[in-house]
Each structure stands twice: as structure tokens, then as C-alpha cells.
Amino acid sequence: MMNRERLPNRRAAETFEVEVNGLHSNSQADTNARDSSIAFSFAVQHGADPHAISRALCRDSHGRASGSLGAALDILLGDES
């Protein structure tokens, strides 16, 4: 089992707006996006490959992300279709 080092409570962060299929912040979609981001963070902290996660998420017939986590990862990882 990996030993994790606790990060400081305050640290630099970047935020950005993501709209997927007409869904905006302050909705159930926002809660789903936050929850999936937390799960993604835990997965990566425990050794999961961010690119593999991104490829496994739902996409439309053109390869565009269907959900907010996929859209955010496309931006962060530079995999925008």
C-alpha cells in the first residue's frame, strides 16, 4: 500500500466553467461533476492513469465527451476532439 503525504489545506488551484450538452453549474449536473472529480482525484492519487480514465468515459459518435468529467479531462489533458 502506498504512503500518501497530506497536502496543505490551502494550495494553488485553477477553476474553469464547463458546459456539456447545455448543462451549466448550480444544478444536479454540477453535483455530479464535483463528485466525479473527487473520485477521479482519488483514483489518480492511487496510481490510475488519467489518459486511460479519459478514454474509458462515454463519448458521442464524433469522439466528444458526453459528460462533464470527460470534457474537463479533454481540456486538462489536451485531448479535445
Domain ranges of the chain: 28-77
Q: How many residues does the chain have?
A: 81
Res 81: pLDDT: 46
What whole-number distance in Å separates Cα of residue 60 and Cα of residue 26?
24
Q: How many CA atoms lie within 13 A of 11 on its CB side?
A: 4
Looking at residue 10, its pLDDT comes to: 78
- Residue 14: all three cell numbers together: 485553477
Write down the pTM of the prediction.
0.67
| Cell digits of residue 49 | 492513469
What local confidence, expressed as pLDDT, does residue 56 receive?
96
Given a cut of 50, the residues of the chain with pLDDT beneath it are 81
Model confidence pLDDT, tens digit, residues 31-48:
888 899 999 999 999 999
C-alpha distances out from residue 48 to 30, 45, 59, Å: 24, 7, 20
